[in-house]
A and B are shown apart, each in its own frame.
Chain A
């Protein structure tokens, strides 16, 4: 079956047709292209399905006989260096391409409906297909330069898609933030690639690993330099996978349309960093300190993501932080050297998170008709609640995604997360404790999201949160922000909501303990049912379930979430533990020669599973305790006041919750820190340098010009052309000279 591999180059290039055709169509026949827009969506889905079938075929081949195929073409011919283009088909590639194509197809089907009323429907599909091209190119690339190329291209797609609704200033800022943050990582990646080229003289993965191993074994290279280069390479993965110091772009990236968040910022692109580290794991394994670094960054991200997700109001931002936390788990697993567990979690998490994001997109879609099109409102969990009866199917899918992410047994994420937790016990107890603790946190915040959105009553109606009668007036149009101006400033809750996006940091850090706000905060925290006025219940529209086109991918993803765990579950056949994933990855495992024997003692497994599941249930229980909606709202109102009174006494627990809440709501103060030091620093530097440029470097020639002007004017004044003055000076000097000579003659 050699010939299949020969045609593997179509994997990345087939989806490329769509953006090319749409682009040229929009350029030359704009009207016709816009009228036939469904055809474009259909064709992009069709092409992607072909790619999916193809990569499935490749995957089956890979499972049956593990062999690595590589094809190369030369790209630039130069005497000193030659760049090559090619593709590499190995288990990792086939897993990733399967994952990307399946999720992408579902997301494309979904977004046909989600984006159907958008003006940029075609642009969206063009970007999406281009993203698929570059992502598939990334996973099939055979050398580091190619990886860098596609790495940048997926970054650009992410930039374009975050800024898809470019009229929103927040989206404009978010996309630039994402690109620049990713550029910081790319800076590291490029330098790392160059450094390793310098050390080994190769970009090909296998040559590079071989040469590098030999060099290290023979002690021929400066180990400090190697560590620096490996660290720089890893920095690329840190930025792309939203790990700790460079994670700031991911929550802001939720400004993009929700299908984008599902595909790019949850399932595929953010996994590119994990993919890169997995790809280069043989390299990192040689340098133990880098492995420590990877697992350390991983565990920090796990904890940080978990804590930051605790008190977000925006449903997508909470999910984004949860993505970040789960990516931290994968990074941790890679740092521990358990390649298989990391990839397993990557797969299961991708499906579960895609399910969750698509579910939240469906929610947002149905909320938009009720509360308006501003993301401040339609994604705000404060305004949701009690959606179970309005959107039952979405609710089911969301619940299943939540349970899967919490790690409840039959669902996908349980298997993979349990494996990582298991391995972390072996690696280091401290890391294990943090990882288990965060598993509890995960359960807590996921159920917080679930309870706030689906239980209780629909808060959007109960609360007269804007002071206007009809919701359609003040809803901010999709293409603009001007509606914000009409908001009545007296209503504190609303100012809180609107300011949250832009001025969250300054607002909270200035007066966090001001009483009234605090009360408000607490109200929102505890019950989310602050009833101000009952009279305004004149809105008839209720959120309703999305169309079938949107529900179909959700249901498929539910199936995936249920059954994808199977590939990693060991079936005891004839005494040997054999699961598909292990079989799939055998060749890569051999390359890594670690962790190859995977003897899972079923007893031990049971104990660990019980532990993790009980921690998850504990988290869920706490979530119920906090966020269980009180159905008798009037009584609850009194209760809140009680809470407030008790809060004045500043009980320790209350304080702690406050601290955690502020920490989470301010995004761990990290954004504020960056804004204060880095952004202001760069701006200040720019001001300073341009001042220097204008005043000093430019000042010299200008000063020169001005001086010469004055000198010229002076000379002109002196030589004014008046004969009388010439005669005067002439005779003046002649007389002086005469006197002088006369004196001399007099003395001699």
Chain B
């Protein structure tokens, strides 16, 4: 056994190092950038090292656990731990946030604050995924809202204040329900508040109470995931944010909702989950089709990608609500895979926006010749997003399909209808994603702007997008990279559904 507090170090390090930025001497942005990137890379290496040597994937229990009493009077602990469910998102966070920091290289305005906020996000996200205490979960949930709000409202586009306000209102509104749920679950039953997730797993509630808790948590996570009709903050936010923020939003923040759904709704409230899962499944199907058919109607490039994310989140909902091993594994795989693909698409959209300064798709066109590398990468990622085999999106969606098919819970006809609905999404996805890349890149257009803006992507941008592309291909070809981490834990979660 090792007694080094790995997880505490991992969680604390970025925000601590980030606060040191403010004591730096005023000597240009360069040093701050390099410092931030070094910290991010160090953090990523630390995460990888800790997980490599101190984590056994075949063990469904909590590992690397830490437990320090924080506030004695209501039994609030600093309790961290990693299991098969959270290791994937933590690694994803480390990866995407590091790359987002690298992507934020051109940001020069107020770069101290910007980089501090990036590092604060880093801490908040990892803290959320690794917290084993319900109240700590809530605190981390709130903690990462503030940096996102500031990042949006200070470095966004023209309508940034509107979207930042919308974002904060939506998510804060969701947080109220989360807080109510946390307090309700924590204070139920015994005289002492229990906030430890391990003990809470074994607690059972009266059905009606469980349903109320479930709804409370669900609303909070539905805002974050997002689930229709609570999704409208997402396109606005993505449309306005700087692309490094977009990478974080699409890559990680959305996945928090999905993580919370599995971690709390599924694990703590199994009865309510099995009651709600049919309607969730219908919502998921509607979401896939609805968002996929909204997407072609968008003129704004980033909003179109944002709607495609919403559509892909539908697969996660269906995977979670299928209540099968396979489906849940597929949902986790989709969390990881969309984290990569969504982040990369936003990054590429942002970099091409930096060059052509056009947002609306119908004004674009013909930029494939000046920027062949961006063209290649963008087409590859739109292929990945439309679930081309060999890339991670395909295998995730396929496994979700299997989960639905093998699910014991549903009857023949509903299964057929839901599978059919999901598969309609397969037809709609290429319509929007290919027409997006056609409108951007294909065709021929003479630009009146001087040529200096039209350099192809440089080594930094190329590195960021290839770095994301490799895991997409890797997972697509050998999905066990991710599945081997989560299989045991998924089985443990689902065994609850059969024992009770």
Contacts and interface: CB of A to CB of B under 8 A. Distances in A.
A415 interface: no
Contacts of A81: 326, 402, 406
B31 interface: no
A682 B426 contact: no
A168 B442 CA distance: 7
B358 interface: no
A94 B484 CA distance: 36
A172 interface: yes
Contacts of B166: 701
Interface residues of A, number: 55
A688 to B, nearest CB: 8
Interface string A161-172: 001001111011
Contacts of B390: 149, 153
B297 A690 contact: yes
Contacts of A685: 293
Interface in B423-456: 423-424, 426-427, 430-431, 434-435, 438, 441-444, 446
A734 interface: no
A689 B434 contact: no
Contacts of B483: 76-78
B232 A698 contact: yes
Contact of A180 (B368, B434, B487): B434
B275 interface: no
Interface stretch (A186-194, A591-599, A630-638, A657-665): A186-194
B369 A183 contact: no
A190 B366 CA distance: 34
B423 A187 contact: yes
B130 interface: no
B420 A191 contact: yes
Contact of A79 (B383, B402, B487): B487
Interface stretch (A209-217, A424-432, A475-483): A475-483
A686 B295 contact: yes
Given A80-B326, A166-B368, A191-B420, A153 B388 contact: yes
Given A167-B366, A480-B444, A183 B296 contact: no
A72 to B, nearest CB: 16
A163 B442 contact: yes
Contacts of A145: 398
A686 B297 contact: yes
29 contacts: A27-B466, A75-B478, A76-B395, A76-B483, A77-B483, A78-B487, A145-B398, A152-B389, A153-B388, A156-B383, A156-B388, A166-B441, A166-B443, A167-B369, A167-B443, A171-B442, A176-B434, A179-B430, A179-B434, A183-B430, A184-B427, A187-B426, A190-B401, A197-B402, A482-B444, A686-B294, A686-B296, A687-B297, A691-B297
Nearest to A698: B232
A56 B412 CA distance: 47
B321 interface: no
B405 interface: yes
A177 to B, nearest CB: 10
B444 A690 contact: no
Contacts of B395: 76
B125 interface: no
A180 B386 CA distance: 11
Interface in A665-697: 682-683, 685-691, 693, 697
B154 to A, nearest CB: 21
Given A80-B324, A176-B435, A197-B405, A701 B427 contact: no
Interface string A185-228: 01100110010011000000000000000000000000001000
B491 interface: yes
A173 B389 CA distance: 23
Contact of A697 (B232, B366, B431, B435): B232
A79 B389 CA distance: 22
B93 interface: no
Nearest to A687: B297
Contacts of B28: none
Contacts of B296: 682-683, 686
A148 B427 CA distance: 15
Given A153-B390, A156-B388, A187 B424 contact: yes
B480 interface: yes
Interface string A349-379: 0000000000000000000000000000000
Interface in B362-419: 366, 368-369, 383, 388-390, 394-395, 398, 401-402, 405-406, 412, 419
A687 B424 CA distance: 18
Nearest to B330: A78
B138 interface: no
A684 to B, nearest CB: 10
B488 to A, nearest CB: 10
B65 interface: no
A240 B435 CA distance: 21
A693 B292 CA distance: 12
Q: Which of A153, A482, A690 has the most CB of B within 10 A?
A: A690
A705 B161 CA distance: 14
A554 B405 CA distance: 50
Contacts, number: 137
B170 interface: yes
A163 B298 CA distance: 24
Nearest to B389: A149
A51 B296 CA distance: 43
B426 A183 contact: yes
Nearest to A690: B297
Given A176-B434, A191-B423, A479 B297 contact: no
B479 interface: yes
Contact of B479 (A76, A184, A682): A76
B169 interface: yes
Given A75-B478, A693-B232, 18 more contacts: A27-B462, A75-B479, A76-B479, A76-B483, A78-B483, A80-B325, A149-B390, A152-B394, A163-B442, A169-B443, A171-B442, A173-B438, A187-B427, A191-B420, A194-B401, A197-B402, A481-B444, A701-B232
B427 A183 contact: yes
Contacts of B446: 482
Contacts of B430: 176, 179-180, 183
B290 interface: yes
A27 B388 CA distance: 22
Contacts of A480: 444
Interface in A73-88: 75-81
A176 B438 CA distance: 8
Nearest to B379: A160
A438 B485 CA distance: 59
B490 to A, nearest CB: 9
Contacts of B232: 693, 697-698, 701
Contacts of B324: 80
Nearest to A679: B431
A646 B232 CA distance: 66
Contacts of B458: none
Nearest to B438: A172
A167 B388 contact: no
A692 to B, nearest CB: 8
Contact of B368 (A167, A184, A688): A167
Interface string B286-313: 0000100111111000000000000000
B229 interface: yes
Contacts of B466: 27
B329 interface: yes
A196 to B, nearest CB: 11
Interface in A611-654: none
> Which of B369, B412, B444, B478 gathers most chain A CB within 10 Å?
B444
A212 B479 CA distance: 30
Nearest to A171: B442
A502 to B, nearest CB: 13
Contact of B442 (A166, A686, A687): A166
Given A81-B402, A152-B388, A479-B369, A76 B293 contact: no
A683 B383 CA distance: 22
Contact of A148 (B389, B402, B487): B389
